[in-house]
């Protein structure tokens, strides 16, 4: 019974982290049809921002939940203006350029901060379920994931920006009809996606190794989850991260963590083959 | 007396795009060596019909038989090998390759090297692009690209040829030339031609099928169709009445 | 440029390459020769992706999967047989079969570009994870231990065909590697002139039209992909021959990225481009590596961005167009003086309007 509870907690936690990791990429992919291969590096920058801020004496919660998204959001703005805006509608080129960007960021970070960095301890203690110990932080991650989901949903559903963004998502020409400049929407969307990614990096910092190449561990997972989820940002990412997180954790539980990943990747390939439009393209048409 | 089966026959052919019924229960039949014109206002479903015939779309419902062979939902290349060739509405050619290469690709699939070369020369002559044989197709005009595409269709020597708006973007002279070629082809092959240009239709047509809102509204000889008031209402009013 | 000019340029390039390969050992010291051997084996990998991407329209983000499988297949077979001859064969066949299975799965599912990229990338990650966790003794094939993250050291290098006692010297290895590169280039050139090659290009140009003419794009792409896998596997064998070692980092994402950079820089849609890009970038990276002041990721990333934004065609096509435009201008001027009439319009001819 305790074991079941702990496995369930792990599964939920796996899905929640995956969701957090993917949400920013999904926003950018879903609304702009750009695949940001520097996504992993955005996560890494979020983690660095949080760790550096925390080590500089800023409250750890503020570092994770405010500094990280702010820094990466601003960075995303710069990237959109200097790079991505030249590549709209050129999917393959945008992948190549953002892949270049990812290398550039890794190189810069290595040059400035070296190959490793002192992380921050995991805040909040642990608690026990029967004989098994786990940390409150796991539950915190879950709460952040739920919170983010609520916020993004509310923004897309109830704000003017959300309305316009959804219109642009359906049809780029709509924006002109609504009297807004699509360039502004794209700019805002990209930096929003970056900020969300930065937040993910921030809250994952205490539970990850902080290195310049930490992003490459995330990018592929996020990439396939988003593609597997399809174009709908919330329902797609949620269903795909739920499914993949579940498969990953169960696989890891019954075999080894490495094979858990392998099983995750294999099932992702099969899913993409069966549903090229992603889960949401098949089952949740027209949702956000 | 045994009846000759039709070359092409569709039963209850239906195509839905979400809520749009682009084709709605089309029962269409074409005899061997027949030349049929297909007309209808924009959005009537003519191109969609062609796409189902050539395997670019899988029908939502209904069947297509080509010489008594079911082909609905089969991949395009299989249908092409059975002998259906199409010139699509938007020029659909190999833009990065030369005119000669485009034609050669169509000709070479089922013949020997020398026969293919001969076909290419003949077709180039026929579509009057001999001087531009080495030109890259992507750099030609819209009208010339149409000719290249017609050339590829001819070079493949199909049993049934579908032409979607062949005269669009052509000069009057070229239009006449197209009509000539169509008559020439029709001596040995069947054709279905979609066109909006009524003058052109008058030049070539025997039997005309009128599409309206995804259905066959009328099918008769060309004079009767052009005289029909319903056809004028949905489509021709502005052009013929003038 | 006319076909004959192109053909003679290609033949000239092959002749020059043959001469360079032949005389290199006279001019380069052992270290340099080894380095060029490495570059050439990587260039085989570059060529494999340049072929399937540039001429088959298949953007594979995981070409290292085949390279790595070829390397491992070679290593396992070479250790077991003690002779490199069957091992090289394995290095080609194993990845080709793998490409056949993967390609069948992908191309027969009507999967578009991006998804193909995702799937191939994912496959590479799977292979990395799998080979990384083969540390135990239970992961032994015949007498070859896969060795997990430590990889497989001391793999027998190439020997004369069917004569395991006659191990090749570094000079011989250079001849073999450089020669293989040239042979594969020539083979691909011939293939592209054949019926199959021209159909493959047609499929890349316009899949729908190819299908409407009766060609099955799935089959064509599948064979292109399989051939690319086989060539990449050959590259893997050459790579192991260079270092006598293979480890799971051969599947690393960074190498996949690097191949794509080579091709973007050299020029997509050419066969020479990927080779040129590969040699240039590897030389650059080796220079950076010995200087220690620059980070190679930084330089590579910047180069890739610059090329995608400013020189999306890559070096070889850009140069070719410049030469063609120059040629055009010269011949135009000759005609001008000949006929005594001015032709203002042609001066503004866009570069690349060949
Ligand atoms: N891929 C598609 N997705 C959604 N709707 C489509 C698609 N293709 C066609 N339609 C719709 O189906 C209907 C029929 O289109 P179709 O192109 O067959 O008309 P058409 O008769 O060829 O018109 P035109 O004379 O303008 O070429 C139209 O309402 C069109 O908007
Ligand atoms: Mg149409």
- Minimum distance, in Å, between the CA of residue C329 and any CA atom of chain B: 19
Phi-psi region of C110 (alpha: psi -120 to 50; beta: other; left: phi over 0): left
Rounded Cα distance, B82 and B65, in Å: 11
**Domain B1-83+159-242: homologous superfamily in CATH:** P-loop containing nucleotide triphosphate hydrolases (3.40.50.300)
For residue C352, name the pLDDT band (cuts at 50, 70, 90): very low
In a domain, C311, yes or no: no
Q: Is residue A79 within 8 Å of residue A197, measured between CB atoms?
A: no
Residues of C with Cβ-Cβ distance to A106 under 8 angstroms: 297-298, 301
In a domain, C291, yes or no: no
What's the structural domain count of chain A? Answer: 1
Given ligand 1 and candidates B17, B56, B59, which is best to mutate, with the most ligand atoms within 8 Å of its CB?
A: B17
Mean pLDDT, residues C294-305 taken together: 84
Q: Is B92 in contact with C206 (Cβ distance < 8 A)?
A: yes
- What distance in angstroms lies between residue B38's CA and the mean position of ligand 1's atoms? 15
In a domain, C214, yes or no: yes
User: Other C-beta atoms within 10 Å of A126: how many?
Assistant: 11
State the chains in contact with C (3 or more Cβ–Cβ pairs under 8 Å): A, B
- What distance in angstroms lies between residue C57's CA and the mean position of ligand 2's atoms? 28
pLDDT of residue B55: 93
Name the closest ligand to CA B163. 2
- Indicate if the pLDDT at residue C351 is higher than 50: no
pLDDT of residue C280: 93
Residue C244, domain extent:
3-24+33-253
Interface pTM (ipTM) of the complex?
0.90
Which residues contact residue C19 at a Cβ distance below 8 angstroms, ignoring those fewer than 6 apart?
A: none
pLDDT of residue C339: 52
In a domain, C102, yes or no: yes
Q: Is C212 in contact with B92 (Cβ distance < 8 A)?
A: yes
Rounded Cα distance, C151 and C286, in Å: 23
**Nearest-CB residue to C213 (from B78, B97, B105):** B105
DSSP alpha helix (H) spans, chain C: 3-27, 30-54, 64-81, 84-107, 113-132, 170-193, 195-205, 207-212, 217-243, 253-266, 272-291, 296-310, 315-339, 344-347
pLDDT of residue C208: 92
Q: Which long-range contacts (CB under 8 A, 24 or more apart) does C133-138 make?
A: C133/A256, C133/A258, C133/A259
pLDDT tens, C228-276? 999 999 999 999 999 889 999 999 878 888 899 899 999 998 999 999 9
The helix, strand and coil proportions of chain A, stated in percent and rounded to the nearest 5, come to 80, 5, 20
Which of the two residues, A264 and C221, has the higher pLDDT score?
C221
pLDDT of residue C344: 37
Q: Is B77 in contact with C208 (Cβ distance < 8 A)?
A: no
pLDDT of residue B159: 92
For residue C345, name the pLDDT band (cuts at 50, 70, 90): very low
Residue A90, domain extent:
2-212
For residue C347, name the pLDDT band (cuts at 50, 70, 90): very low
Cβ of B109 under 8 Å from any chain C Cβ? yes
pLDDT of residue B160: 94
Q: Which residues of chain B have pLDDT under 70?
A: 1-3, 235-242
Rounded Cα distance, C164 and C158, in Å: 8
Rounded Cα distance, C244 and C153, in Å: 7
Residues of C with Cβ-Cβ distance to A105 under 8 angstroms: 301
Rounded Cα distance, C275 and C271, in Å: 7
Q: Is residue C99 within 8 Å of residue C225, measured between CB atoms?
A: yes
In a domain, A153, yes or no: yes
Q: Tell how strand B8-17 and strand A132-135 pair up.
A: unpaired
Residues of C with Cβ-Cβ distance to A102 under 8 angstroms: 301
Q: Is A100 in contact with C106 (Cβ distance < 8 A)?
A: no
Write the DSSP string, B66-130: ETTEE-TT--HHHHHHHTEEEE-SS--S-TTSBHHHHHHHHHGGGS-HHHHHHHHHHHHHHTT-G
Q: Tell how strand B35-39 and strand B61-66 pair up.
A: unpaired
In a domain, A37, yes or no: yes
Mean pLDDT, residues C92-107 taken together: 93
Rounded Cα distance, B85 and C214, in Å: 9
Which of the two residues, C53 and A208, has the higher pLDDT score?
C53
In a domain, C351, yes or no: no
pLDDT tens, C2-52? 678 888 888 888 999 899 988 888 888 888 899 999 999 999 999 999 999
In a domain, C112, yes or no: yes
- Indicate if the pLDDT at residue C129 is higher than 60: yes
In the block, which residue shows the tokens 């992706």?
Answer: C49
Rounded Cα distance, C239 and C152, in Å: 13
Q: Which residues of chain A have pLDDT under 70?
A: 1, 126, 128, 130, 132, 169-179, 280-288
What's the structural domain count of chain C? Answer: 1
For chain C, give the percent of residues with pLDDT over 70.
Answer: 91
- What distance in angstroms lies between residue B47's CA and the mean position of ligand 2's atoms? 4
Tokens of C75: 């290593």
In a domain, C318, yes or no: no
Which of C88-102, C132-146, C176-190 comes out lowest in average pLDDT?
C132-146
**Nearest-CB residue to A220 (from C59, C121, C302):** C121
């Amino acid at each position: 019974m305790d074991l079941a509870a702990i496995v369930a907690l792990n599964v939920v936690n796996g899905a929640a982290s995956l969701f957090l990791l993917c949400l920013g990429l999904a926003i950018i992919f879903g609304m702009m049809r750009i695949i940001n291969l520097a996504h992993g590096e955005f996560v890494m920058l979020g983690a660095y921002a949080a760790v550096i801020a925390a080590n500089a004496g800023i409250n750890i919660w503020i570092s994770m939940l405010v500094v990280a998204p702010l820094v990466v959001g601003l960075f995303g703005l710069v990237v959109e203006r200097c790079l991505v805006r030249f590549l709209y509608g050129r999917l393959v080129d945008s992948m190549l350029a953002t892949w270049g960007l990812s290398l550039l960021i890794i190189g810069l970070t290595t040059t400035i901060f070296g190959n490793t960095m002192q992380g921050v301890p995991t805040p909040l203690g642990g608690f026990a379920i029967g004989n098994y110990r786990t940390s409150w932080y796991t539950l915190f991650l879950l709460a952040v994931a739920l919170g983010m989901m609520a916020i993004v949903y509310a923004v897309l559903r109830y704000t003017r920006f959300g309305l316009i963004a959804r219109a642009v998502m359906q049809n780029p020409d709509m924006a002109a009809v609504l009297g807004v400049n699509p360039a502004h929407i794209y700019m805002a969307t990209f930096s929003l996606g970056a900020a969300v990614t930065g937040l993910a990096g921030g809250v994952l910092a205490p539970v990850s190794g902080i290195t310049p190449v930490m992003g490459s561990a995330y990018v592929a997972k996020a990439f396939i989850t988003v593609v597997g989820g399809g174009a709908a940002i919330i329902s797609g990412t949620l269903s795909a991260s739920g499914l993949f997180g579940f498969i990953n954790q169960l696989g890891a539980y019954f075999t080894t963590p490495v094979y858990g990943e392998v099983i995750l990747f294999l099932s992702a390939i099969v899913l993409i083959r069966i549903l090229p439009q992603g889960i949401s393209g098949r089952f949740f048409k027209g949702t956000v | 007396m045994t009846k000759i089966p039709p070359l092409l026959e569709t039963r209850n052919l239906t195509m839905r795009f979400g809520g749009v019924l682009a084709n709605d229960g089309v029962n269409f039949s074409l005899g061997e060596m027949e030349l049929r014109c297909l007309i209808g206002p924009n959005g009537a479903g003519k191109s969609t019909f062609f796409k189902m015939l050539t395997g670019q779309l899988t029908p939502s419902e209904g069947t297509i038989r080509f010489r008594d062979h079911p082909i609905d939902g089969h991949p395009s290349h299989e249908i092409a090998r059975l002998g259906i060739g199409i010139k699509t509405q938007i020029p659909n050619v190999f833009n990065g390759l030369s005119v000669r290469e485009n034609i050669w690709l169509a000709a070479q699939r089922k013949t020997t090297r020398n026969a293919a070369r001969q076909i290419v020369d003949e077709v180039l002559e026929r579509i009057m692009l001999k001087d531009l044989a080495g030109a890259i197709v992507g750099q030609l005009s819209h009208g010339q690209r149409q000719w290249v595409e017609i050339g590829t269709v001819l070079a493949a020597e199909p049993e049934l040829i579908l032409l979607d708006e062949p005269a669009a973007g052509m000069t009057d002279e070229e239009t006449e030339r197209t009509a000539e070629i169509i008559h020439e082809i029709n001596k040995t092959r069947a054709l279905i031609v979609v066109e909006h240009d009524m003058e052109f239709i008058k030049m070539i047509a025997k039997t005309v099928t009128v599409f309206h809102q995804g259905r066959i509204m009328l099918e008769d000889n060309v004079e009767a169709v052009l005289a029909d008031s319903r056809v004028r209402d949905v489509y021709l009013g502005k052009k013929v009445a003038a | 440029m006319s076909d004959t000019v192109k053909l003679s340029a290609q033949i000239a390039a092959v002749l020059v390459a043959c001469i360079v390969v032949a005389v290199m050992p006279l001019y380069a010291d052992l270290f340099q020769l080894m380095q060029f051997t490495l570059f050439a084996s990587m260039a085989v990998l570059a060529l494999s992706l340049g072929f399937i991407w540039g001429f088959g329209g298949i953007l594979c983000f995981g070409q290292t999967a085949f390279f790595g499988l070829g390397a491992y297949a070679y290593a396992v077979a070479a250790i077991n047989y003690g002779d490199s001859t069957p091992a090289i064969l394995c290095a080609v066949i194993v990845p080709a079969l793998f490409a056949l299975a993967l390609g069948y799965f992908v191309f027969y599912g009507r999967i578009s570009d991006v998804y193909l990229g995702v799937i191939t990338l994912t496959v590479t990650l799977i292979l990395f994870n799998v080979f990384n966790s083969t540390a135990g003794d239970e992961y032994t094939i015949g007498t070859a231990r896969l060795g997990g993250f430590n990889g497989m050291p001391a793999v027998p290098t190439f020997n004369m065909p069917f004569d395991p006692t006659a191990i090749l010297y570094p000079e011989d290895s250079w001849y073999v590697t450089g020669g293989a590169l040239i042979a594969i280039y020539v083979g691909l050139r011939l293939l592209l002139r054949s019926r199959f090659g021209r159909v493959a290009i047609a499929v890349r140009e316009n899949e729908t039209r190819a299908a409407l003419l009766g060609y099955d794009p799935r089959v064509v792409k599948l064979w292109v992909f399989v051939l690319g896998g086989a060539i990449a596997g050959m590259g893997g064998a050459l790579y192991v021959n260079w270092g006598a070692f293979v480890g799971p980092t051969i599947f690393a994402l960074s190498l996949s990225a690097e191949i794509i950079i080579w091709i973007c820089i050299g020029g997509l849609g050419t066969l020479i481009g990927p080779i040129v890009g590969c040699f240039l970038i590897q030389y650059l990276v080796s220079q950076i590596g010995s200087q220690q002041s620059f980070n190679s990721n930084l330089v590579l990333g910047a180069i890739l961005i610059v090329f995608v934004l400013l020189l999306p065609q890559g070096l070889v096509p850009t140069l070719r167009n410049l030469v063609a435009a120059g040629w055009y201008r010269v011949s135009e001027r000759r005609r001008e003086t000949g006929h005594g009439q001015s032709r203002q319009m042609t001066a503004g001819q866009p570069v690349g309007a060949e």
